[in-house]
Chains A and B, each alone.
Chain A
Amino acid sequence: MSDLHEPVSEDAAARIIHTAATVGAPLVIRGGGTRSLAGNGEAHDVLSSALLSGIESYNPAEMTMTAKAGTPLAEIEAALAEKRQMLAFEPLDLRPVLGTTGNPTIGGVFATNASGPRRFVAGAARDSLLGVRFVNGSGEVIKAGGRVMKNVTGLDLAKVLSGSRGTLAFLTEVTFRLLPVPETSTTIVISGVDDAQATAAMATALSMSVEVSGAAHLPETVRGRFVGGGLPAEPATVLRLEGLSASVTVRAEKLRAAMASFGTVSMLDRQATDILWREVRDIHPYADQTLRPLWRVSVAPTAGHQLVAALRLETGVDAFYDWQGGLVWLRMEADPEAGLLRHFIKALGGGHATLVRATPEVVATTPVLEPQPEAIAALSARIKLKFDPKGIFRSGVMG
């Protein structure tokens, strides 16, 4: 039987961790539990941030917020919306594809470095994280970073904690930067373009001075699943523009003209734009109530479509692309094909694949995370020991 620890204070968390370290009892750190991979739950005690909740300070004029790690993301986004601000990195929500319930927490967002379509211009979660408080595996309460936007004082421990998936420390408080919500947004849709041409179209769009803030390609197999089937027939390459109305209008005209040579161009209004990019962010086509293997693949933007083409010759796979083609969501028809996938990634210039979803049996037999070269794995293991000398933190989180 595993116990659930829900400390109500940082000090209480430190005591729980200190005790666990003393007796060598593993702990699985959990925020809202919405990003947990099925089958990845050995029977360890759970340390939850659920009761470490609340916005501690929010100063819109400084574009920063400090919140306890267990604060629901929804609470934070509601507070930001009131002041027309936002998390620039668009944290993705894995509940639809994983079928998990509960409330994503801000700590979970940073612990998994959960980032969405705007990532290639606005950075990932790690780029917005300014400071952290955490409890390390010895039960010590530690702060790193700060609450100002520019800070190079000492080692940037906030970076290594971001995306560490609960393997290094228990986050108790995070301070992050914000951006204003753009006055308006629109999406240019280029229809009828295959994966390779779409990659060229997106590269062209991003070479222009129009500040594209979303670039995705939705092949015909998934296109109908977006915006309630409202995108024109045929594959859709979608480009988002955001900003002041006056400038979005001008930039949209410029971009339309340049994209006309690739395919038929149409536009989405702000409302449809909001829906589309939320669906891209949350991997909507694969929110299919199945446990078919779902991979998140990160490669150079021009390699994405080559990877999918190579895989299609070997196995049953469906895919769509975000981040100009550099983020590939792959749903395998049957076998996860981890070896084949990683072989092609390597052959196409490198990158990595993370298994986001699969049945417990598949998870148990598949290397979920990209295996690392020996020297980097050894270095990472040494760093893990510096945070968690007894090795009590076990990861229960994916993303």
Chain B
Amino acid sequence: MPDKIAFLPPKKSVLDRRDIIVSDLADLLPKGCLVSEPRGLVPFETDAFIAYRNVPLAVALPETTAQVAAVLKYCSRYGIPVVPRGAGTSLSGGAIPQSDAVVIGLSKLSHILDVDYANRTATVQAGVTNLNISEAVSADGYFYAPDPSSQLACTIGGNIGMNSGGAHCLKYGVTTNNLLGVKLVLFDGTIIDLGGKALDAPGLDLLGLVCGSEGQLGIVTEATVRLIAKPEGARPVLFGFQSSEEAGTCVAEIIGTGIIPVAIEFMDRPAIEICEAFAHAGYPMDVEALLIVEVEGSEAEMDAMLASIIAIARRHGVSTIKESQSATEAALIWKGRKSAFGATGRIADYICMDGTVPLSQLPYVLKKTGEIVARLGLRVANVFHAGDGNMHPLILYNINDPEDAARAEEAGNEILKLCVDAGGCLTGEHGVGIEKRDLMLHQFAHVDLDQQMTVRAAFDPHWIMNPSKVFPLEGRPAA
């Protein structure tokens, strides 16, 4: 059984000075921007990786970049760990604090600063939600492409921290491919601007390094993102198969033929049942595997692409084909998929894995995943982005049964190692957080991680930024 994942031991010197720190932070922030009462701190003790929780020392909710800088400068001066937080929707524990940490929450930085259609950019504060960006420009025919399932709640700052993806990144890419610039506060309070409205920036690609750095290189307070003209139309189609293998090989052939749909989502039978019971999306109930394939464009374009895709699906034994006949039906199909995590949460506790594997390995990894989970006496529902091999097995368990929880964690670890061994990686879009931190040495050699950690130290030499995350606690280079 795996041990509980450790956080760095709290610094006694910080805990002992708690009252002074709270009082000093209160001086740096406007009224109502500091949480220090025990009851007020509870909502910040965990994120969507609910198996772990720590009440932080205090929570700062700055309203300006200058306030973020002042808090960071203060914390770095006294060696106080800092944990940045967007909406707290991380599935890997990226926003879970440690008891000696000051959480810097970005919820008050929630303004859209500039929308520039001629250059197709939006500049927003980091606490703006992902969906808010698309909603703000939708009436004018634009959208922001990355669409994680949590897009209603998650913030662009959190998306940048984790380099979030979503269902539609097969065509449009993930956050890093849609990010043009950020305002970044470094550990010591220095404010820098990386990138802007031009498509590329001079010098080293620091923006590329910051995106996906899980709050360890600095705190993003503003972001400039690409807007894209909305397609004329989009049409999701359901394909039901009698086996996961058939669905998996169908995906590989679609991609291999040169057709890139906007999205190819996969669900197995348990996932179909859970989502259908919740969303009544009209999913077929007599199949072992379901693909949601979405194409977009003009009617003629969609017809042509779908004809090719349907021909391929028929060669792979598809048993049900269901085209959405209206916008309402299309929305329902996506509602079912996007509510997969929430719907699963209604019937059981779960942990969601996020490994990515090469497409050719999908059927093998699905089969082995089933075996691992069955051996440990657990259930699994698979729902994931098949077009790019990003798997999301949901391992169902009972959080109130410690043995069950330990078995779920063990299953998760085995599945992630399976993904790496199949030529993939530990995490495709959720981030390492604390969840996968101790598995990093399964994917990387010490020398590889050392290079990452030394680069990290160029940004944060004393490891105060979200320090319990991403890199194994043992063997870190000295400051």
Q: Footprint of B on A, CB under 8 Å?
A: 59-64, 84-85, 113, 115, 119-120, 123-124, 126-127, 136, 140-144, 146-157, 159-160, 162-164, 168, 179-181, 183, 199-200, 203, 206-209, 211, 243-244, 246-247, 249-251, 298-303, 323, 326-327, 349-352, 354, 369-370, 372-373, 375-377, 379-380, 382-387
Contact = CB atoms under 8 A, between A and B. Distances in A.
A150 B385 contact: yes
B201 interface: yes
Contacts of B203: 369-370, 372, 376-377, 380
25 contacts: A59-B358, A59-B360, A61-B255, A119-B199, A126-B205, A147-B423, A148-B356, A148-B357, A150-B165, A150-B169, A150-B388, A152-B174, A153-B436, A153-B443, A155-B209, A155-B456, A156-B209, A244-B301, A247-B301, A327-B199, A351-B196, A376-B206, A377-B203, A386-B457, A386-B458
Contacts of A168: 204
Interface stretch (B48-56, B74-82, B271-279, B446-454): B446-454
Contact of A150 (B190, B201, B428, B440): B428
Interface stretch (B18-26, B225-233, B286-294, B402-410): B225-233
Nearest to B253: A61
Which of under 10, 10 to 19, 20 to 34, or 35 or more describes the interface residues of B? 35 or more
Interface string B430-449: 11100010001001110111
A154 B470 contact: yes
Nearest to B458: A382
Contacts of A84: 258
B192 A375 contact: yes
Interface string B296-317: 0110110111000000000000
Contacts of B208: 126, 156, 159-160, 162
Nearest to B387: A149
Contacts of B118: 199-200, 203, 301-302
A250 B300 contact: yes
A143 B213 contact: no
B120 A206 contact: yes
Given A163-B205, A209-B231, A250-B301, A351 B359 contact: no
A70 to B, nearest CB: 22
A211 B117 CA distance: 16
B179 to A, nearest CB: 11
Contacts of B213: 155-156
A181 B257 CA distance: 11
A67 B186 CA distance: 36
B10 interface: no
Given A61-B255, A152-B431, A350-B198, A157 B452 contact: yes
Chain B CB within 10 A, most for which of A141, A153, A352: A153
Contacts of B257: 180
B163 interface: yes
A356 B68 CA distance: 39
A351 B198 contact: yes
Given A350-B198, A386-B458, A157 B192 contact: no
Chain B CB within 10 A, most for which of A62, A249, A299: A62
A379 B192 contact: yes
A153 B426 contact: yes
Nearest to B180: A300
Given A148-B428, A150-B388, A181-B258, A62 B359 contact: yes
Interface in B389-440: 389-390, 423-432, 436, 440
